[in-house]
Chains A and B, each alone.
Chain A
């Protein structure tokens, strides 16, 4: 038998085969005693770089074959197999690799689009779109789909079901993307491969939103059978594929096994034969052991120091990647209660030391964000302009001076004690925040008014609509797409039901702001859309971000064995970490490949599916 990683004899095996006599036994016992102390030393010593085979870094053409093994989402499992009603990420991740969207991101961070199920499209006017559907798309052959062809009717059902928000029995379901699909007032299918959509009003980011995760088109028959019947039914047949991979096995709570879809319409893709995705990895030590023994292709530690230690231990064998956390860190102040005067939120926007927070909590791995985060770089205010604006200056003196003036002028000291609710989930990771945030604000404004208290997301969500939400600090919802315009409009337009700060509804009157938001939302010219979005952001910053103070987005470091050739935004080199895409685009797994000639691939344990 070939001597490989799994079969080679271990030292324990050799020990077991050795002849044991009294002297050897006693010597062994003494060794065991001494070993008790010794392995403490071994376990704690700094990792030594292992002998590294000669690096073979010359770029090669993508190779087919190999099965990737990557952890998906910590402790989460599917919340629902009805994709239209899914909220949580694991199902959305899976939908990204086994299904297709009408259009998808070619370059996620730049918002550059390409056809997916649609081979091309026409924008008749900002409220009318025509999509020409590919003729070579077929559903995975299952007893439910019988491998039928994908047609325009699939898209019609996909849109109309979500817009109606109704289940087959007529009851109302919880369809999280319903409000978006309700903007589509008419879906016409003049033939099997053409879809004509009419919106209730022009929506500039329409195509971009269709490319976001969560907008994959599931199979109607499977959804009606499994999703409607019992949304908890977790079976491979619940999600037939059109995309690069098919779900071969769903080992509930353990792993997904995905296999290359032989009927995938993009010839030659995916490169990988399959993907094995263990779902549950609780303990960082388990993840580290799995990575170091190449049972996982990539890994991020519980903290940056641990990840860096592993990277250093395998310096010549692993790529270093930086990954953005798409949940933006916010500081929300309530303009309906405490912060009614816009000067107060202006002062707070100026006072918060974003860079100090990045240093303190994330070891400097992060970047300040404006009202549109740097993850959505196409629309964000460029960094060189942002650093000249209130709250973002590198020289804090001017910001602090202005903050104190505004605070005093608006009667801030008379407000007395102000409670800042730090969300429990955040405190679990960074407990010092409960003191750090109020101390930093007290110091910046020269007062002694701010007090940190523990809070929960429930305190916030339950009180958004009634306007009695606390002033809170933590992450907020994840950035899903490259175009932020619908989010900006929803947060600040006076007619939007999610304008919780009541901008132009009694709080912070800004003449002309509504019409600017309307023009921004309906603009279909990309350059003009960016210009308008940046104008909107400037107004938002001038008004203290209307209490929804965006602070920053941070990053985490991960290690990836060098045989992995990922679809990354910037490729890692020996001297510089690579950077993964910030906007989720799971379909990029189809162009991920393994360099099976690379020395680091040789002792990788084989993965069979």
Chain B
């Protein structure tokens, strides 16, 4: 197991290097840079334009050869230095520290909603399989699997607005530890949209796993022993059906990081996802690269954790 973890860690380093190289060169392929975006409104005013641009570019370090900048970026990343924002002059860590709470709040709520909806839906669907309820819930989950999260969120938002069901706080930025009611108002709809979108896949897997497990002999034996139905479902069937579901849940949590970029922008949540988009728009390269690297790190780590948890939960699984 230890050997496996070490091997996975080494592979993860290679994965992170590939991500770093990809993000660095694809950013360079984009038209314009931070300076040009800042100066563009003054296009014809400056008489010594070229000189101003050259001086500013030198000051910001944008005049260095691309290979030198690439090398510096890799070296800085290896030292956990995610760079400084060209716009604010602050380190990426400082910028992210200001924003990660909102992302965590949203992410936790999405996970809670995903679990709270997917497990009952998956169970009910399996228990009442081939009934009208099963058909309705399957239609519900397939519909949400087919919808991209931004579309689902947009529909929920429009529906809530049209029917005047809820006040979505778009402008404010409350946190649960300072203003719980305000935060609930802010995060409820994005969490609902993100949670349902993430939970749909989990519910589908849980249903199919439950149906498979329920056909096993040990379930029949449990019923034959006269165990209470609820106990058979929850303690015997569900426990055994959860293993593949766990893998999917891991991916769902990773997917929440992607979803945060969309949901934070749609609902004006000042989190890491929206920060990423603003840095891209401003061509603020160091924090953009740093944030992508951090997200990549979280994703590869999550993958590793899921694999390890998988082995821990099922003693039959052994990695070599």
Contacts and interface: CB of A to CB of B under 8 A. Distances in A.
Interface in B278-304: 278, 281-282
Nearest to B170: A290
B266 A464 contact: no
A415 interface: no
A11 interface: yes
B87 A77 contact: yes
Chain A's interface size range is 35 or more
Interface in A438-459: 454, 456-458
A42 B165 contact: no
- Most chain B beta-carbon neighbours within 10 Å: one of A40, A75, A232, A253: A253
A464 B50 contact: yes
Interface stretch (A31-39, A152-160, A399-407): A31-39
Contacts of B165: 10-12
A380 B141 CA distance: 61
Contacts of B166: 10, 12
Interface stretch (A216-224, A281-289, A350-358): A281-289
A458 B283 CA distance: 13
B212 interface: no
A203 B139 CA distance: 74
Interface stretch (A142-150, A292-300, A512-520, A594-602): A292-300
Contacts of A255: 171
A62 B132 CA distance: 62
Contact of A491 (B32, B36, B44, B132): B44
A542 to B, nearest CB: 22
B124 to A, nearest CB: 7
Contacts of A498: 44, 47
Interface in A7-55: 10-12, 26, 29-30, 32-34, 36-37, 39-40, 42-45, 47-48
Interface string A559-587: 00000000000000000000000000000
Interface in A223-279: 230, 232, 234, 252-255, 276, 278
Chain B's interface size range is 35 or more
Contacts of A12: 165-166
B307 to A, nearest CB: 34
A465 interface: yes
Given A39-B156, A293-B161, A252 B88 contact: yes
Contact of A174 (B40, B56, B169): B56
A293 B170 contact: yes
Interface in A446-478: 454, 456-458, 460-462, 464-466, 476-478
Contacts of A496: 47
Interface of B: 31-33, 36, 38-50, 52-53, 55-56, 87-90, 98, 124, 132-133, 136-137, 139-140, 143-144, 154-159, 161-163, 165-171, 173, 265-268, 270, 274, 277-278, 281-282
Closest 9 A-B residue pairs measured CB to CB? Answer: A33-B136, A290-B170, A43-B155, A232-B89, A43-B158, A286-B268, A424-B31, A456-B31, A39-B159
